[in-house]
């Protein structure tokens, strides 16, 4: 009898009605991969965007069968030469572009290239660890690899109370920068607790009318452009957008003021970047923020909450303990 597992399957493109939590065959590990017992995963906007059909050009006529990028769990199988072996606790991000061929993490078991996986931070629970990889890598790759944020610089984070935003605030402070956060008045206290030096309420103020100068303008919401925020950027400042990737890339090619840079950031799985995030967590510089933990059977509710765009921190999916031995 074929070994089975519980997973959230995408039956077709659509809303949450296209999700079905049921039994499905377990994935078979390939050479160079780890087979991982997923203890927790999380929801990211890219999940419901794929389900909705926004990335049909990438995935074709049917969505990937199992979504989910973030995972924290325990190694079940590995190559003899792998640095991780059965029983090791790991965390990571699946390769979103390859979800048609590689299962996502909204399941009891997933598989992932060993080179993309890192040891899970010792001070975190599985649920806390699963909330970090995608948002943590997005923030790290944006501020470190693209913006090259330096101590003493000033960064604005548009959307500082969401998953990426709250990690970005903490990361910027850990890097020695000062932070201007943008969110609603409702989330002001959360933003200040995360480390913002100043918080702008976008509902009460026109952000683009604010008299400020920053070295990095991090558009987590994705509703601006380099041209719109240029007057708030330092002469050698950097604008980052993680949502409007195509338009931001095109605008960077035709940027008339070459001193100011514009970057579209598409997150990439990286064990080395995860290791840096792990160190910051172990030092107490980064703290995951979780709004709610949902059991796998209630993943549709988590999707609906994420689509509201009012989430503070992350929505985590906890896997059941019903998995039978391999």
Q: Is the pLDDT of residue 126 over 60?
A: yes
Check whether residue 86 and residue 189 sit in a common domain. Answer: no
Evaluate if residue 78 carries a pLDDT over 60.
Answer: yes
Q: Are residues 104 and 197 in the same domain?
A: no
Cβ pair 268, 291 in contact under 8 A: no
Q: Which tokens is 129 given?
A: 């660890």
Q: What CATH number does the domain containing 174 carry?
A: 3.40.50.720
Judged against a pLDDT cut of 90, whether residue 101 lies above it is answered with: no
Helix H segments across 97-235?
Answer: 126-130, 133-140, 163-174, 188-194, 226-229
- Rounded average pLDDT over 134-152: 98
Neighbours of 179 (CB within 10 A): 25
pLDDT at 309: 87
Eight-class DSSP state of 29: P
CA dihedral 304, 315, 175, 221 (to 10 degrees): 0
Q: Residues 168, 193: one domain?
A: yes
- CA-to-CA distance for 99 and 27, rounded, in angstroms? 13
Per the structure, the count of domains in the chain is 2
154 with 195, same domain?
yes
Distance CA 275, CA 71 (A): 15
Residues 149 and 77 in one domain: no
Q: Which residue did the predictor score with more confidence, 324 or 100?
A: 100
At 307, list the tokens: 């689509």
CATH classification at residue 18: 3.90.180.10
In the numeric block, the tokens 């610089």 are attached to 153
pLDDT band at 287 (very low <50, low <70, confident <90, very high): very high
| Residue 91 within a domain | yes
Is 218 inside any structural domain? yes
8 Å CB contact between 25 and 283? no
Among 177-181, 213-217, 222-226, the least confident range: 222-226
Task: Using the predicted structure, report yes or no on whether residue 100 has a pLDDT greater than 90.
Answer: no
Distance of CA 240 to the CA centre of its chain: 15
Name beta bridge partners: 28. none
Q: Are strands 154-158 and 214-219 parallel, antiparallel or unpaired?
A: parallel
| Predicted confidence band of residue 326 (pLDDT cuts 50, 70, 90) | low
Q: How many CA atoms lie within 13 A of 280 on its CB side?
A: 24
- Would you say residue 87 has pLDDT above 60? yes
Non-local CB neighbours of 199 within 8 Å, separated by 6+ positions = 160, 180, 181, 182, 183, 188, 191, 192
Can you read off the two tokens belonging to residue 233?
A: 């950027």
Query: Does residue 275 sit within a domain?
Result: no
Is residue 272 in a domain?
A: no
Domain-embedded: residue 71: yes
Look up the domain containing 217 and give its range.
Answer: 134-264
Would residue 116 count as lying in a domain? yes
Alpha helices in the chain (DSSP H): 45-52, 56-59, 126-130, 133-140, 163-174, 188-194, 226-229, 245-253, 271-282, 299-307
CA distance to 27, 43, 103, 201, per residue, from 93 (Å): 17, 12, 12, 32
Structure tokens at 292: 């709610």
Instruction: Identify the three-state secondary structure at position 4.
Output: strand
Do the domain assignments include residue 148?
yes
> To the nearest whole percent, how much of the chain has pLDDT over 70?
94
What would the mean pLDDT of 56-85 be, rounded to a whole number? 96
| End-to-end CA gap in the chain | 12
Mean pLDDT within 200-227: 96
172 and 86 housed in the same domain:
no
Structure tokens at 147: 């913006």
Closest by alpha carbon to 201, among 210, 211, 212? Answer: 210
Residue 19 maps to a domain: yes
For residues 97 and 194, membership in a common domain is answered with no
């Amino acid at each position: 009898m074929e070994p089975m597992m519980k997973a959230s399957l995408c039956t077709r493109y659509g809303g949450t009605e296209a999700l079905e939590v049921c039994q499905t065959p377990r994935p078979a590990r390939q050479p160079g991969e780890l087979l991982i017992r997923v203890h927790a995963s999380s929801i990211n906007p890219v999940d419901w965007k794929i389900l909705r059909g926004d990335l049909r050009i990438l995935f074709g006529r049917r969505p990937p069968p199992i979504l989910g990028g973030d995972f924290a769990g325990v190694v079940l199988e590995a190559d003899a030469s792998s640095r991780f072996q059965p029983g090791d606790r790991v965390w990571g991000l699946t390769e979103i572009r390859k979800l048609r061929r590689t299962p996502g993490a909204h399941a009891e078991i997933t598989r992932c290239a060993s080179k993309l996986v890192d040891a899970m931070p010792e001070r975190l629970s599985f649920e806390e660890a699963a909330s970090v990889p995608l948002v943590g890598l997005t923030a790290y790759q944006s501020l470190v690899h693209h913006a090259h944020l330096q101590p003493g610089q000033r960064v604005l984070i548009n959307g500082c109370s969401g998953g990426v935003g709250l990690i970005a605030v903490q990361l910027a402070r850990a890097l020695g920068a000062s932070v201007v956060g943008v969110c609603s008045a409702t989330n002001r206290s959360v933003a200040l607790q995360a480390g913002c030096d100043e918080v702008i309420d976008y509902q009460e103020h026109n952000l683009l009318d604010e008299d400020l100068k920053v070295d990095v303008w991090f558009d987590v919401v994705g509703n601006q452009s380099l041209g719109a925020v240029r007057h708030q950027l330092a002469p050698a400042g950097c604008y980052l957008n993680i949502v409007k990737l195509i338009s931001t890339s095109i605008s960077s090619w035709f940027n008339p003021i070459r001193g100011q840079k514009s970057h579209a950031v598409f997150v990439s799985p990286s064990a080395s970047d995860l290791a840096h995030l792990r160190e910051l967590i172990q030092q107490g510089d980064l703290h995951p923020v979780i709004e709610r933990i949902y059991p796998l059977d209630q993943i549709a509710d988590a999707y609906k909450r994420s689509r509201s765009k009012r989430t503070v921190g992350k929505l985590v999916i906890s896997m059941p303990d019903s998995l039978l031995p391999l």
